[in-house]
Amino acid sequence: MPRRPDPTRKPELLAQIIEHLRSRSIATVSFRTLAEALGVSTYVFVYHFGNRAELVAEIVRGVVARHDAALAVDPTALDARALRSHLLDAWADSTSERGRDLLRLETEAALLEVVAGEQGPARGEVARWHDFVARWLVGQGVPEAVAGPEARVAVDALRGLQHDALVTAEVRPLTTAATRVVDDLVARAPQLASTP
């Protein structure tokens, strides 16, 4: 009688793989190299992930999922102070050493999706944040036609600062800039709400 699969093993393996990749490229992923690094049989990866393409897809989903909890919050339920805190907490998480490593993996994955002509989860991550901030602005009374572009400006500014942190590792001055972006967004919301 075959052994029943352990439902916790695949998520556990995925977490180990992502930690292993923090100092490596997604392009280097193979069942053999991962098996050697993690001390398991290649069969384990074939069993849980099927093939390399599925493994890479799971890695990308795992990396992108790091923001799921932050994005699960209903932005319309946040006041200005709570949104500010929420965005700056996300900034701190994204610019920690681990956060920068995962951002690098996410960026690599997004570029691979572009080359493959796919609209995958890595390419969609920024849009999830655009939507989150736009929904907050609409909840503050900002017209949808104004909220979308304003959200894009704020999120893309923060994203650019995250990439700066990724490349330079100079988080402190960038945190000052990120705080200004968030404060400007929060301060402008009442003015934008009065836009016809």
The mean pLDDT values, 10 residues at a time, for the chain of 196 residues are 71 93 90 91 89 88 92 97 98 96 93 84 90 98 97 98 94 97 98 85
pLDDT at 195: 76
Could you tell me the residue ranges of all domains in the chain? 9-62, 67-193
Query: What is the C-alpha separation between 133 and 137, in angstroms, rounded?
Result: 6
Counts for the chain of helices (H) and strands (E), in that order: 10, 0
In CATH, the architecture of 67-193 is Orthogonal Bundle (1.10)
Query: What is the C-alpha separation between 38 and 19, in angstroms, rounded?
Result: 10
pLDDT at 82: 98
Task: Rounding to the nearest 10 degrees, give the CA dihedral for residues 27, 28, 30, 34.
Answer: -130
User: What is the per-residue DSSP string for 52-97?
Assistant: HHHHHHHHHHHHHGGGHHHHHS-GGG--HHHHHHHHHHHHHHHHSH
Q: What is the CATH number of domain 9-62?
A: 1.10.10
pTM of the model: 0.89
pLDDT at 56: 87
Whether 16 and 43 have beta carbons less than 8 Å apart is answered as no
The length of the chain, given as a count of residues: 196
pLDDT at 5: 64
Tokens of 196: 């016809």
Tokens of 191: 């003015």
C-alpha dist (Å) from residue 189 to 86, 118, 152, 178, 184? 16, 35, 14, 17, 9
Domains 9-62 and 67-193 share a fold: no
pLDDT at 141: 96
Give pLDDT tens digits for 73-116.
999 999 999 999 999 999 999 999 999 999 999 999 988 888 88
pLDDT at 9: 85
